[in-house]
Structure 1
Amino acid sequence: MSSAPSPTARIGRLAILAVGLCWLAVLFDGLDMFIYGSVLPHMLAEKALGLTPDQAGDLGSYATFGMLVGALTAGTVADRIGRKKLMVACVALFSLASGLCAMATSVGVFGLGRTLAGIGLGGLLPTAISMVSDYAPRGRGALAIGMLMTAHHAGGILSAYVALWVVEPLGWRAAFWFCVLPLLFVPVLARSLPESLSFLVAKGRTEEARELAGRYEVELPVAPADKQATGDRWTSLANLFRGGEWTQTLLYWLASFGGLLLVYGVATWLPTLMRGEGYNLGSALTFVVLFNLGGIVGMLVAGRASDRFGAPRISAIWFALTAAGVFLLSVHMPLAVTFTVVFLTGVFLNSAQTMIYATVSIGSRPDSRATAVGWTSGMGRFGAVFGPWLGGQLLAADKGDWGFTAFALAGLSSMVFIGIAALRGARRTTASDRDQQLIGAH
């Protein structure tokens, strides 16, 4: 066996720099994503912009539609121009779009701002995941992605406190002005974030990659034997459907649809639905904090478990537990019990979806990784569009108590699809091992 230093020892400074900057970018992503759900009860209470519950659901879907567009295009663009440039552009876009929301004088202008913000938000997340996956120590890919995604939920926690501390004295517009502040982070990201070494090598920019690797004392990745991905912009996407990959790809997409329906439906409507269950606004925002604290804990637990037992298997189990927790929220329980259920639901829900991304990212070629993650995220965004819209329609029809049931069913569907993907993957691994044994015997 090789006596080379361990990946953890060799990756050191470069991994810390790349993951740290990506973590901050995703923190701002989470703040911008969750801020709408956090201030929504206040906007509805004061009828801001003449907003009605069904319009509120539509606005939530505008942002997630933008995320769909961003996710579908960002992966291919990142695999062509680089992860770094795209991340910088995405942070700038969703920060400026929040300023448009803050200045909006009508529902239409506000919706445009949320759509543009969604494009930036949708493009950032799969790109950051791909970057972190590039720099993760071998065998710790799921944990590294889980650690990155704790930032998303830290941003959700921050959004709740912005709603509590800024909206009451200054109004809902101040919350969106607060979300413009990440624009100050853009020059730091542009100057300090290293480009993906795998991307540089795949694009033939070996001198640049060698200089970066030498500066941080890490090994240079091996160039891919197949160079066709660099010559054809659609090759990375076509690779997702070659041979028997198409079935696995569709299973990931379907699981992502249900998972993001659940994530964004709950993220948008949790405070409002909990108020409908009889809790006051302060308690409803406390649910947002607990939900995202659970998400942070869940990312770390799921990441470690996935590196040991497999990300698809953990994702399926987590979705089953999520469905149970979400359904329980439709039952009015003592406040302490409800707090516990919200926290545990956050533990399982958020990391269940992230482990789908981890599964796709870890199993993808470095030169097409952003495309694979981006399209899995992008196809799932159809569910993210549908989730907030569905919650708004149920609330407008005075059937808000059905919202938790609908979201629980989405969790069960994702459990089924990712579970089938896990079983197929296990069978394929077993078959591959058996073939290797036969080849060795001959």
Structure 2
Amino acid sequence: MSIPVTKNAISNNMEPSAITTKLVVFLCFIAMISEGYDIAIMGVIIPTLLQEASWNVTAVHMGYIGSAAFFGTLIGCYLFSALSDLYGRKKLLIACLIIFSTSMIGAAMAQDPISFVIARGICGIGVGGIIPIACALTSEYSDEKNKNFYFALMYCGYPAGALLAALVGMFYLDQHGWRTLVAAGALPLLLVPVFIKFLPESISFLLSHGRKKDALQLADKIGISQNSIESYQVSKENKVNIFSLLKEMFSVRHLRATTLFWSSQIATVLGVYGLSTWLPQIMKANGYGISSSISFLAIFMLSAGLGSLFIGRLTDRFNTRKTIVLFYLIGAVAIFGLSFNYNIAITYVLVGLAGMGIIGVGMVQLGYITHYYPTKIRASAAGWAIGMGRIGAIMGPIFGGYLMANGSNTSANFYLFSAAALIAAISIFFTPKNIGNH
């Protein structure tokens, strides 16, 4: 959040040093790994959980269990994004990291589906807070020229964490069981001291709350010109509270964009988490072994991360909106193509294009949404968009579970997720072209 005293102050007069930008991006990247691992580990362990005799769960049950964390993220996105605009980015990000990590231990110790669902829901609350806060910090500490690339680089933590989950599953699931893999998600607890020491607070947040002395000290530490901070004055009409955040987000100026962004987020995340949860099981149902099935998830996530960097660089040089639409269309075609039988090489290519065209472009889209709004409501706007996307995250695993349980051809899942990518493309195509980021 910043006080709009001078137009584009945060972009032109308060650009941080390259070292600071890279430090913030790296730390937020590490935080985002937790989301990726958390989401993908469910897809990895679902085949094993379905065979857990004492739990006696079906594919439909697993759809609901898989959605538990996503319901938690719905709460976390709304709650912590607003709190971070009001009370600070750094402390809320660290708190969310602690909530997420400790709840993974609880999930690993669960003795029945109910306690597992509760732990996963709490885990989702922490993850839901991490996403918008990391997005806001990265946006605020990125220079204008490379903002989309840095955002995509930060968000690569998600597919990196998911890829890590897939690799851990391929090599350790059979020997160590699902509980060990889930418990490994608590390792970010070891990094909390690092975040406390090295992650800077948002300077614009400090200024918007009248903490100019703290902002000057931080600016001196990270290489931002103090002259730009000295010019800031906090006026009564610009002081931020929860009502001013909501008023700006739903103003006539932003209403159309907000509505279309939410539509695109719901569709995108439905496809992302539906495929992330069910892709290994779908491939297993199509005759592949468990390790081979998980390898498709690994390719899906790897191409998502690499694709997001490629798309992010393209959007820094070409029209952002049109580039996002193009790659959603590529994703829709690739996912639809998976409904047909090919040799394994072509299937890998289609899975890779699907990862790029649903997760990779979705990561860049979130950067587009974050940059679209004024800095003072950036975390809240991103958080609400992400929160709406959690509706899709909840629906994706459930719909996939019903399609699998009802004996539908596995192609039905691909039709559903292809349609989701198409809806996302249409929504972004119709968003207003003018970006209100001042």
TM over 0.5: yes
Partner of 2:273: 264
1:317 aligns with 2:323: no
Partner of 1:198: 204
Q: What is the CA-CA distance between 1:227 and the residue it aligns to?
A: 5.2
Partner of 2:94: 88
- Equivalent position amino acid for 2:95 in 1: A
Tell me: CA distance 1:363–1:278, structure 2 relative to 1, closer, same or farther (3 Å). Answer: same
Q: 2:72 aligns with which of 49, 66, 77?
A: 66
Tell me: CA distance 1:75–1:9, structure 2 relative to 1, closer, same or farther (3 Å). Answer: closer
Paired-residue identity, %: 31
Partner of 2:417: 407
Q: What is the CA-CA distance between 1:218 and the residue it aligns to?
A: 1.8
Equivalents in 2 of 1:229, 1:269: separation in Å? 47
Partner of 2:223: 217
1:314-347 CA-to-partner distances (Å, cap 9, x unmatched) read 2211111111111111212101111111112112
1:100 aligns with 2:110: no
Structure 1: state its 5+ residue gaps.
1-5, 430-442
Equivalents in 1 of 2:163, 2:294: separation in Å? 9
Partner of 1:329: 338
Equivalents in 2 of 1:367, 1:239: separation in Å? 9
Partner of 1:437: none
Structure 1 segment 317-396 matched on structure 2, within 5 A: 317-396=326-405
Equivalents in 1 of 2:270, 2:366: separation in Å? 15
* Aligned partners of 1:265 and 1:391 also within 8 Å: yes
Q: What is the CA-CA distance between 1:224 and the residue it aligns to?
A: 7.5
Tell me: CA distance 1:277–1:179, structure 2 relative to 1, closer, same or farther (3 Å). Answer: same
- Equivalent position amino acid for 2:137 in 1: M
Q: Tell me the SS of whatever aligns to 2:342.
A: coil
Partner of 1:11: 17
Partner of 1:141: 147
Structure 1 segment 178-189 matched on structure 2, within 5 A: 178-189=184-195
- Equivalent position amino acid for 1:425 in 2: K
Equivalents in 2 of 1:158, 1:224: separation in Å? 46
Q: 2:304 aligns with which of 295, 302, 312?
A: 295
Equivalents in 1 of 2:364, 2:19: separation in Å? 26
* Aligned partners of 1:157 and 1:292 also within 8 Å: yes
Equivalents in 2 of 1:45, 1:8: separation in Å? 56
Equivalents in 2 of 1:254, 1:28: separation in Å? 25
Equivalents in 2 of 1:224, 1:37: separation in Å? 50
Partner of 1:432: none
- Equivalent position amino acid for 1:413 in 2: I
Tell me: CA distance 1:123–1:10, structure 2 relative to 1, closer, same or farther (3 Å). Answer: closer
Equivalents in 2 of 1:229, 1:353: separation in Å? 32
- Number of positions where the alignment pairs a residue of Structure 1 with one of Structure 2: 422
1:27-67 CA-to-partner distances (Å, cap 9, x unmatched) read 12211221111111222234462221101100111111111
1:425 aligns with 2:409: no
Partner of 2:8: none
- Equivalent position amino acid for 2:159 in 1: H
Q: What is the CA-CA distance between 1:225 and the residue it aligns to?
A: 7.1
Partner of 2:3: none
Tell me: CA distance 1:336–1:210, structure 2 relative to 1, closer, same or farther (3 Å). Answer: same
1:100-154 CA-to-partner distances (Å, cap 9, x unmatched) read 1111111111011111111111110111011000000122111111001111111
Q: Tell me the SS of whatever aligns to 1:49.
A: coil
Q: 1:239 aligns with which of 241, 248, 253?
A: 248
1:152-193 CA-to-partner distances (Å, cap 9, x unmatched) read 111011101221233211211111111111111122212221
Partner of 1:435: none
| CA-atom RMSD in angstroms | 2.0
Equivalents in 1 of 2:236, 2:300: separation in Å? 44
Moved more, 47-56 or 295-304: 47-56
Equivalents in 2 of 1:280, 1:131: separation in Å? 42
1:37 aligns with 2:43: yes
Structure 2: state its 5+ residue gaps.
1-11
1:225-263 CA-to-partner distances (Å, cap 9, x unmatched) read 765453422211210121232111101111111011111
Q: 1:283 aligns with which of 280, 287, 292?
A: 292
Q: Tell me the SS of whatever aligns to 1:242.
A: coil
Q: 2:406 aligns with which of 382, 386, 397?
A: 397
Partner of 1:26: 32
* Aligned partners of 1:311 and 1:355 also within 8 Å: no
Equivalents in 1 of 2:95, 2:222: separation in Å? 25
* Aligned partners of 1:294 and 1:344 also within 8 Å: yes
Equivalents in 2 of 1:219, 1:299: separation in Å? 32
Q: What is the CA-CA distance between 1:401 and the residue it aligns to?
A: 2.8
Q: Tell me the SS of whatever aligns to 1:136.
A: coil
Q: What is the CA-CA distance between 1:278 and the residue it aligns to?
A: 1.7
- Equivalent position amino acid for 1:235 in 2: S
* Aligned partners of 1:314 and 1:355 also within 8 Å: no
Equivalents in 1 of 2:182, 2:330: separation in Å? 34
- Equivalent position amino acid for 1:402 in 2: A
Equivalents in 2 of 1:282, 1:143: separation in Å? 33
Partner of 2:156: 150
Q: 2:132 aligns with which of 123, 126, 130?
A: 126
Q: Tell me the SS of whatever aligns to 1:171.
A: helix
Equivalents in 2 of 1:7, 1:309: separation in Å? 24
Q: Tell me the SS of whatever aligns to 1:195.
A: coil
TM-score where L is the length of structure 2: 0.92
